[in-house]
Structure 1
Amino acid sequence: MILTRPAIRAALQAGEITIEPYDPARLSPNAYDWRLGDTLRVCAGELDAATPTAFVEQVIPATGLVLKPEVLYLGVTLEKTGSETYAQMLNGDRTIGTLGIWVHVSAPLGHQGHAIRWTLEIRVAKPVRVYPGMTFGKLVFLTAFGTPTSYQQQLSKYADTDGIDISRLYEEIPGGVL
């Protein structure tokens, strides 16, 4: 079940959800409107699942940055979010989609116990200018059923992520770079 605005507000006040920085005006009927952080990693060259991705890190200036098609950008949310009680689902939204921006299509689930600034996968259909701190999507909180297990206790390769992170699939591929 998805939490409503009053339920999200109550969970924040009870300390069951963390959103930093938090702005109550960003609560919508069933979600929190999250923002784009100020840094991108521009993935260079061909990508190979068996090796770490090469990238150039770039700060998005206040005047904005034009994203180009056929380039993979890894971004980061401005907000750090988490909950030991609820799972999270991060998505782009209509306002971004109608600009031809696809964001975070492949990995929208935030597990219970994982408090993070989300790494974002960003692609664009046409050149489009983006700005740091602009609304970029919606975050919903989901009630979990069953015995909860904190993500931090899973010893996942992404458990300590606190910002933009490249794929670490190469750690699982035999013969990949470790």
Structure 2
Amino acid sequence: MILTGPDIVAERERGRLVLEPFHPAQVQPNSYDLTLGPTLVYYTGEVLDTRAENPFVEVEIPEDGFVLEPHRIYLGASVEVIGSNFYVPRISSRSGAARLGLFSHCTAELIDIGSIGQTTFQFHTVEPLRVYAGDRLGQVAFVRVQGDVVLYDGKYQGSRGPQPSKIHHDAPATAA
């Protein structure tokens, strides 16, 4: 089950979920709007590799915006620090951004229970799209869990700013 907007507010006040900074105007009927931070990351290699650290560039979003191009993945971060030890945050695009062809979280929509940090958006657009720091492009819903809880303690814990992939840390060790 997903928390309603009033439940999100109440659970935040009780300390059962983190949304900082918090702005009541960003509370929706069953989610909370997330704003884009000041930087974006994109990869510079011709071929991305799951077993290697991929080269990337971090850019500051200018005041007049930054144009996202199709056929490229961009990583941005929410201004807000989010998370919970009691609920699973679920990230998605806001419908207005999606109607412009922007995918804010291409696939990895679930944030592990116990993960606290700025979320990394995985932006992909179907047409060139100008975005600005402070745009409300994503939203987070909080899902109730059932069963034994094991809190996240992984490589993205405490994230600040856009986080490039660290999947290469999961690769099996090779014999030398």
Query: Quick check: TM above 0.5?
Result: yes
Deviation at 1:127, TM superposition (A): 1.0
Alpha-carbon distance between aligned partners in 2 of 1:158 and 1:30, rounded to the nearest angstrom? 26
Which residue in the other structure is 2:31 paired with? 31
- TM-score between both structures, scaled by the size of structure 1: 0.91
Give the match's secondary structure for 1:36.
strand
What are the superposed Cα offsets for residues 24-75 of structure 1, whole Å, 9 maximum, x if unpaired?
1110110001111111012112211111111110011222111111222111
Alpha-carbon distance between aligned partners in 2 of 1:53 and 1:84, rounded to the nearest angstrom? 31
Alpha-carbon distance between aligned partners in 2 of 1:76 and 1:35, rounded to the nearest angstrom? 8
Q: Percent identity?
A: 35
AA at the equivalent of 1:27: V
- 5 Å-filtered alignment, 1:123-162, equals 123-152=124-153, 156-162=154-160
- 5 Å-filtered alignment, 1:86-125, equals 86-125=87-126
User: Does the CA-based 8 Å contact 2:116-2:158 persist in structure 1?
Assistant: no
Which residue in the other structure is 2:65 paired with? 64
Cα RMSD (Å) of the superposition? 1.5
Give the match's secondary structure for 1:109.
coil
Which residue in the other structure is 2:77 paired with? 76
Alpha-carbon distance between aligned partners in 2 of 1:107 and 1:3, rounded to the nearest angstrom? 20
Deviation at 1:157, TM superposition (A): 2.4
Alpha-carbon distance between aligned partners in 1 of 2:115 and 2:52, rounded to the nearest angstrom? 26
Runs of 4+ in 1 over 4 A off after TM superposition: none
Give the match's secondary structure for 2:7.
helix
Deviation at 1:151, TM superposition (A): 1.1
AA at the equivalent of 1:120: F
User: Does the CA-based 8 Å contact 1:40-1:57 persist in structure 2?
Assistant: yes
Alpha-carbon distance between aligned partners in 2 of 1:89 and 1:73, rounded to the nearest angstrom? 19
User: Does the CA-based 8 Å contact 1:82-1:114 persist in structure 2?
Assistant: yes
Alpha-carbon distance between aligned partners in 2 of 1:79 and 1:28, rounded to the nearest angstrom? 15
Structure 1: gaps (5+ residues): none
User: Does the CA-based 8 Å contact 1:38-1:59 persist in structure 2?
Assistant: yes
Deviation at 1:100, TM superposition (A): 1.3
Deviation at 1:160, TM superposition (A): 4.1
